[in-house]
Structure 1
Amino acid sequence: MKKISKGLVAALIAGAMSFTAMADNYTIGTGSQSGTYYPLGGTLAKIWGETLPDFNMRAEVTAGSVENSIKVATNKQLAGIAMGSVVLKAYNGTEPFPAKMDVAVVSALYPNVVHFMVPANSDIQSIQDLKGKKVSLGAPGSGTRTAAIGILAALGISEDDLKAQSLNYTATTSALANGQIDAGVIVGSLGVGAVTELTLTRDIRMLSFTSDELAKVSEAMPSFQPLEVPAEAYRKVPAFSTPVVWNVLVVNKNADTDLIYSMTKSMFENIEQVRQSIKVTSYTTLENMEKLAGVPLHPGAQKYLDEMK
Structure 2
Amino acid sequence: MARSHADEDPSKSRPRRRGVLGGAAALGGLLLASGPARAQPVKVRLGTATPGGGFPVYGAAFVEGVRRFDPALEIEAINTKGSTENVPLLEAGTLDIALVQGEVVHAALQGVGRAPADLRVLTAMYPTAGMFVVRADSPYRTVADLKGKPIAWGASGSGLVILGRYAMDGLGLDAAKDFQPIYLERAGDGPAMVLDGRAAALWGGGNGWPGFMTMAKSQAGARFIAPDADEIRRILARHPFLRPVTQAAGSFPGQAAAIPSVGSWSFVLARPGLDETVAYRTVKALHALQQAGNPPPQLVDTTAANTVAVVPGREKLHPGAARFYREIGLLT
TM-score band w.r.t. shorter chain: 0.7 to 0.9
Q: Specify whether residues 75 and 136 from structure 1 end up closer, same or farther in structure 2 by C-alpha distance, changes over 3 A only.
A: same
Q: Once the 2 structures are TM-superposed, how far is the Cα of residue 237 of structure 1 from its aligned partner?
A: 3.5
Q: What residue number does 1:74 align with?
A: 92
Q: Indicate whether 1:183 and 2:192 are aligned.
A: no
Q: Is the 8 A contact 1:87 1:103 kept in 2?
A: no
Q: Is the 8 A contact 1:169 1:186 kept in 2?
A: no
Residue identity opposite 1:90 in structure 2: A
Q: Once the 2 structures are TM-superposed, how far is the Cα of residue 230 of structure 1 from its aligned partner?
A: 5.1
Match of 2:51 among 33, 58, 74: 33
Q: Is the 8 A contact 1:43 1:274 kept in 2?
A: no
Identity across the alignment (%): 23
For residues 160 and 86 of structure 1, the distance between their equivalents in structure 2, rounded to whole angstroms, comes to 21
Q: Is the 8 A contact 2:81 2:155 kept in 1?
A: yes
Deviations 1:174-229 (A, max 9, x none): 10111111111012x21223211221112221113121211122233334322343
Q: Is the 8 A contact 1:63 1:141 kept in 2?
A: yes
Residue aligned with 1:235, SS:
coil
Within 5 Å, which residues of 2 pair with 1:199-210?
Answer: 199-201=216-218, 202-210=220-228
Q: Indicate whether 1:242 and 2:258 are aligned.
A: no
Q: What residue number does 1:304 align with?
A: 324
Q: Is the 8 A contact 1:84 1:292 kept in 2?
A: no
Q: What TM-score, normalized by structure 2, do the two folds share? A: 0.77
Q: What TM-score, normalized by structure 1, do the two folds share? A: 0.83
Deviations 1:235-288 (A, max 9, x none): 2235332113212111124322222112221221233679543x1422222211
Q: What residue number does 1:131 align with?
A: 147
For residues 51 and 234 of structure 1, the distance between their equivalents in structure 2, rounded to whole angstroms, comes to 30
Residue identity opposite 1:298 in structure 2: H
Q: What residue number does 2:271 align with?
A: 252
Residue aligned with 2:155, SS:
coil
Q: Once the 2 structures are TM-superposed, how far is the Cα of residue 33 of structure 1 from its aligned partner?
A: 3.3
For residues 182 and 127 of structure 2, the distance between their equivalents in structure 1, rounded to whole angstroms, comes to 25
Within 5 Å, which residues of 2 pair with 1:130-279?
Answer: 130-158=146-174, 159-167=176-184, 168-187=186-205, 189-201=206-218, 202-229=220-247, 231-237=249-255, 239=257, 240-271=259-290, 276-277=295-296, 279=297
Residue identity opposite 1:237 in structure 2: Q
Residue identity opposite 2:214 in structure 1: E
- Number of aligned positions between the proteins: 283
Q: Is the 8 A contact 1:275 1:281 kept in 2?
A: no
Structure 2 portions without partners, runs of 5+: 1-40
Q: What residue number does 1:7 align with?
A: none
Residue aligned with 1:216, SS:
helix
Deviates more, 1:133-142 or 1:239-248: 239-248
Deviates more, 1:56-65 or 1:147-156: 56-65
For residues 256 and 168 of structure 2, the distance between their equivalents in structure 1, rounded to whole angstroms, comes to 22
Q: Specify whether residues 64 and 40 from structure 1 end up closer, same or farther in structure 2 by C-alpha distance, changes over 3 A only.
A: same
Residue identity opposite 2:262 in structure 1: P
Residue identity opposite 2:171 in structure 1: L
Residue aligned with 1:170, SS:
helix
Q: Once the 2 structures are TM-superposed, how far is the Cα of residue 41 of structure 1 from its aligned partner?
A: 1.7
Q: Is the 8 A contact 1:116 1:183 kept in 2?
A: yes
Structure 1 portions without partners, runs of 5+: 1-22
Q: What residue number does 2:120 align with?
A: 104
Deviations 1:39-77 (A, max 9, x none): 332233345456557543211112222222222222111
Match of 2:105 among 81, 87, 95: 87
